[in-house]
Amino acid sequence: MSTLEIKDLHVSIETEQGEKEILKGVSLVIKTGETHAIMGPNGSGKSTLASTIAGHPRYTVTSGSITLDGEDVLEMSVDERARAGLFLAMQYPVEVPGVTMTNFLRTAKTAIDGEAPALRTWTKDVKAAMDQLRIDADFAQRNVNEGFSGGEKKRVEILQLELFKPKFAVLDETDSGLDVDALKVVSEGVNRAHATGNMGTLLITHYTRILRYIKPEFVHVFVDGKVVEQGGPELADRLEDEGYDRYVAGAGSAAEPAAV
Ligand SMILES: Nc1ncnc2c1ncn2[C@@H]1O[C@H](COP(=O)(O)OP(=O)(O)OP(=O)(O)O)[C@@H](O)[C@H]1O
């Protein structure tokens, strides 16, 4: 079993007005086999946490730590993080012109595993995973994400997740822009990866919609760069009913004058 541990993480970004602290002491422990959901209102820092785990250069860790089985993730390059078993599906996947999906998948798999996958089984695995995610065979020869619809990009991300077999997956707004059928197909892909028992998932979302299909054991509510409450799946249900007002200082009182 592996453990991803985030301890008292503080993260800032450079803005034109100077340094701005976005994460203000986040602590989380995720083990393989577990699914954790991070929920919170717009701007609470959820994507910042995902980008920091991924090693995006815009975000500066001012204190705290991220470790994977005790190894310092913050010391690792982006490539090293992938090789260590971290997978990040971003809110806005990038296009890679001139690189076909087939080449990209095989090159990335080789880089992550440190050896090329055996061609015959690999081709079969890719085809089977594409079929299950209902990705048309034509996509294999298309350039990565170029001209893909929002939903197609998300399916392709989950395709990578299934083929790369990471220890930990961070899924940022994987539900955004998906119709109900696509949401089901994508969720099933995540669940298949999960069923191996060898992956831990950190699922970042605004809505409980995806949580009908992917069941988290742990739910963390994020507000203003901090975890303000933690619980089980029942917490997600409560958020669906009540929203985030109870956590946002002054949300109720601010609304009153406007309503008068
Ligand atoms: N480059 C930047 N310059 C200025 N502010 C930034 C920058 N990047 C992030 N922020 C601010 O940091 C805060 C947290 O943003 P983040 O995207 O992490 O929130 P989020 O919880 O993922 O939001 P959403 O649910 O809307 O995607 C926001 O107030 C955002 O405006």
Atom 17, ligand 1: residue with shortest CA distance: 47
H-state helical runs in the chain: 46-54, 78-84, 101-113, 119-132, 150-164, 180-195, 233-242, 251-259
Residue bearing tokens 């602290």:
21
Q: Which atom of ligand 1 is nearest to the CA of 40?
A: 21
CATH architecture under which domain 3-259 falls: 3-Layer(aba) Sandwich (3.40)
pLDDT at res. 260: 30
Which of 9, 44, 226 for a ligand 1 pocket mutation test, highest count of atoms within 8 Å of Cβ? 44
Mean pLDDT of the chain: 88
Domain ranges in the chain are 3-259
Q: pLDDT digits over 108-117, tens only?
A: 999 999 999 9
- Residues 109-133: what's their mean pLDDT? 93
Residue bearing tokens 């669940």:
191
CA of 47 to the centre of ligand 1 (A): 7
Query: 43 CB under 6 A from ligand 1?
Result: yes
Q: pLDDT digits over 52-92, tens only?
A: 999 988 999 999 999 999 999 999 998 899 999 999 876 56
- Bridge partners, residue 169, by sequence: 87, 201
Query: 28 CB under 6 A from ligand 1?
Result: no
Atom 31, ligand 1: residue with shortest CA distance: 43
pLDDT at res. 250: 58
Residue 39 identity (one-letter amino acid) = M
pTM for the structure as a whole: 0.88
The radius of gyration computed from the CA coordinates of the chain, to the nearest angstrom, equals 19
Which of 13, 51, 92, 175 for a ligand 1 pocket mutation test, highest count of atoms within 8 Å of Cβ? 13
Backbone angles phi, psi at 170, to 5 degrees: -110, 115
Backbone angles phi, psi at 166, to 5 degrees: -75, 165
Assess whether pLDDT exceeds 80 at residue 93. no
